[in-house]
Amino acid sequence: MSLANHIPYVRSTYAPAEMLERAQQYYQQLDARRTVREFADTPVAKAVIEQLILAASSAPSGAHKQPWTFCVVGDAEMKRKIREAAEEEERRNYAGRMSDEWLQDLAQFGTDANKPFLEVAPWLIIVFRKSYDLTEEGKRNNYYVQESVGIACGFLLTAIHQAGLVALTHTPSPMNFLCDILQRPANEKPFLLIPVGYPAPNAQVPDIKRKGLEDVAVFY
């Protein structure tokens, strides 16, 4: 099949042994990623964040619509406003909106309604999903928006890790307050809030174990 708008796919491949080696190395690299909740206030160059977002935006998406907007907040006053609003929602979450089972599941992580990282981390990347596009001709459909934006966030997290930085996948739900603070158009809904930066010098992470292959994969 040859379509007029198509170009050859050109990329090198690897011999089987090298392929396995590369697959193992990439797994080990990704396995070293940890979600970190304690950030240093050390600045990170905007140019780095720009590359991380380009990496995220290279993700596949339904009909190649790239239905996402990455809002990047470095401004201290805006971070303060976001922290204030997020903590208000989280206080309600921890004080009744979350079930007992949920609170029990979270106990090992030591989280609570305090979110200092929202001010300490040099950058907050707030990912918005675009349920539709607003064009000059009006509304245009997007497809598989949750899947597409989820994949883009995965790309973003691996890019952050690869750059030697840390991130936290944060969802201070409901997140509607982010539409107001960041003045987003009606077609954009908040998806994920990701503080990015260096870990605090004495940052700690929970001693969790990941499931083994036999627990997550079934071969037929």
Q: Which residues bind ligand IYR (CB under 6 A)?
A: 90, 93, 106, 111, 170-172
Cβ 86 to ligand IYR shortest distance, Å: 8
Q: Any idea which residue has 């539409």 for tokens?
A: 179
Residue (of 161, 168, 171) closest to 192 by Cα position: 171
Query: Which of residues 67 and 190 has its CB atom nearest to ligand IYR in the complex?
Result: 190
Nearest to 86 by CA among 193, 11, 185: 193
The CB-nearest residue to ligand IYR is 111
104 or 141, CB closer to ligand IYR?
Answer: 104
In angstroms, what is the minimal distance from the CB of 194 to ligand IYR? 12
CB crowding 179-218: b at 16 or more within 10 Å, else e:
bebbebeebbbbbbbbbbbbbbeeeeeeeeeeeeeeeeee
Packed helices 16-31 and 145-162: angle between N→C axes, nearest 10 degrees:
90
Shortest reach from residue 205's CB to ligand IYR, in Å:
13
At closest approach, how far in Å is the CB of 68 from ligand IYR?
Answer: 21
Of 141 and 171, which has the nearer Cβ to ligand IYR? 171
User: Considering the complex, what minimum distance in angstroms separates the CB of residue 95 from ligand IYR?
Assistant: 12
Smaller CB distance to ligand IYR: residue 21 or 105?
Answer: 105
E strands present in 31-115: 68-73
- Rama region for 122: left / alpha / beta (φ>0; ψ in -120 to 50; rest): alpha
Compute φ and ψ for 138, nearest 5 degrees. Answer: 115, -155
Residue closer to ligand IYR (CB basis): 115 or 129: 115
